[in-house]
Amino acid sequence: AYAGGVGEILGVGLFAGLWTLILSSALIGAGSRILGWAGIFAALLLFTTLPSVVGIENPILLTLSGIVWQIWTFALAVQLWRRA
């Protein structure tokens, strides 16, 4: 259970956060400032889940980070679809 929990936190909190941060930086550079800054905010919220690896948990931030990230991902999909 511990290894699965660590893997989930690192996979979601760290790697998804890093991916979102990198993509958001590229969006800002490409002129999509609002979506880019929203992505940086979503990435920072994902990073707030990392302390749960050592037992410091905040269920509200965990839920909020997931919701914000999903809304941002949907907005990104809509923008990509409109530009295609």
**Given this model, what pLDDT does residue 75 score?**
98
Closest CA to 25 of 13, 37, 17: 37
- pLDDT in the model for residue 10: 81
Query: Model's pTM, two decimal places?
Result: 0.86
The domain containing residue 10 runs over which residues?
2-83
Q: 39 and 3 in contact (C-beta within 8 Å)?
A: no
Q: How many domains does the chain have?
A: 1
Q: Using one digit for the tens of pLDDT, what is the confidence trace for 8-40?
A: 778 888 999 999 999 999 999 999 999 999 999
Confidence of residue 1 (pLDDT cuts 50, 70, 90): low
- The pLDDT assigned to 57 comes to 82
Q: Do 23 and 38 form a contact (C-beta atoms < 8 A)?
A: no
pLDDT in tens, 39-77: 999 999 999 988 877 778 888 988 999 999 999 999 999
